[in-house]
Structure 1
Amino acid sequence: MADTMQFDLVSPERRLASVQAREVRIPGADGDLTAMPDHSPLITTLRPGILTVISAEGTSDYAVTGGFAEISASGASVLAERAMAKADVTVAEMDALIADATAEAAEAAAEGKDAANKTVADLQALKVALGL
């Protein structure tokens, strides 16, 4: 059994992490899960929450709102709708993101209303998960 696996965390803006990880704790839509080397293949959607990466360099936490995780025996990749290093997130930043999303939801056309409201709910849930 391998001691580490390749882990990549990517958002639409940039790649946040690419490391050899011992384990990755993922906020899956159906519950939290931990991916480790030699994990059975799995694809899951994400819920808003904290994604934790444990590697030889230490532990890194990231705030994610949604997306997908693909896990295999040799690694895991997370494609997040929105992701940021937990240490970089402030109350003011979260409040600004929620305010912007709320304004967009108020102006959204009927066919985009549900998606816009989901974005607001995702950001509010993430703020709670961050303890802000």
Structure 2
Amino acid sequence: MPTALEIVTPERLLLSRAVDMVVVPAAEGELGVLPGHAPMIALLRGGVLRIFEGQQETSRLFVAGGFAEITPERCTVLASEVMPLAEVSKSAAERRIKEAEAAYEAVDKSDIAARDMTLDHLQSARAMLAVAEAP
């Protein structure tokens, strides 16, 4: 029995369909979700979300960060931003890196939450650049 996958951004529900497996870019590393997976919530880092149907990878999406809520029947990805890999631009990624570096330099380093948020944005921008430069 497939896993129900939902991908949601602040703006809308982007995808809702049954898949055989989804691999999410979790903060701890790539996390493969199959039907019957143990319940958990995973923090997502910027990276590539991969969708499998049958034995084939059918979709690859860039995820800027967020959370994945996993149950034995479902994987719900709550993402800050999602885009098809074909829409990931090197120039946009480089611009985001510059903006994130400037924000990190300007942030009050004693404000741990703000510092961590700026570091997350920088990591996501770097992941976006890596995706844009990949063959």
TM-score band, normalised by shorter chain: 0.7 to 0.9
- The residue number in structure 2 matching 1:118 is 120
Larger deviation: 59-68 or 90-99? 90-99
Aligned residue type for 2:71? S
Alignment of 1:6 onto 2:8: no
Displacement, 1:102? 3.6
Q: Hey, what's the Cα distance between the residues in 2 that align with 1:125 and 1:60? A: 18
Segment drifting more, 50-59 vs 90-99: 50-59
In structure 1, stretches of 5+ residues that fail to align are none
Change (3 A) 1:125 1:89: closer
Helix, strand or coil at the partner of 1:78? strand
Structure-to-structure mapping, 1:46-61, within 5 angstroms: 46-55=44-53, 59-61=58-60
Instruction: Tell me: CA distance 1:9–1:97, structure 2 relative to 1, closer, same or farther (3 Å).
Output: same
Q: 1:36 to 1:8 in 2, by over 3 A?
A: same
Tell me the residue number matched to 2:61.
62
Q: TM-score, length-normalised on structure 1?
A: 0.80
Q: 2:15 aligns with which of 14, 17, 20?
A: 17
State yes or no: 1:29 paired with 2:39.
no
Indicate if the aligned counterparts of 1:19 and 1:55 stay in contact, CA closer than 8 A. Answer: no
The runs of 5 or more residues in structure 2 that have no matched partner are none
Give aligned pairs, total.
129
Deviation at 1:23, TM superposition (A): 0.7
The list of structure 1 runs, each at least 4 consecutive aligned residues, that deviate by more than 6 angstroms after superposition, is none
Contact 2:88-2:128 at 8 Å conserved across structures: no
Q: What displacement does 1:81 show?
A: 2.3
Change over 3 Å in CA distance of 1:68–1:54 after alignment to 2? same
Range moving further from structure 2, 119-128 or 76-85: 119-128
Aligned-pair CA distance for 1:86: 1.3
Are residues 33 and 103 of structure 1, via their aligned partners in 2, closer, same or farther at CA, if it must alter by over 3 Å? Answer: same
Residue identity over aligned pairs, in percent, reads: 30
User: Is the contact made by 2:46 and 2:123 (CA closer than 8 Å) also made in structure 1?
Assistant: no
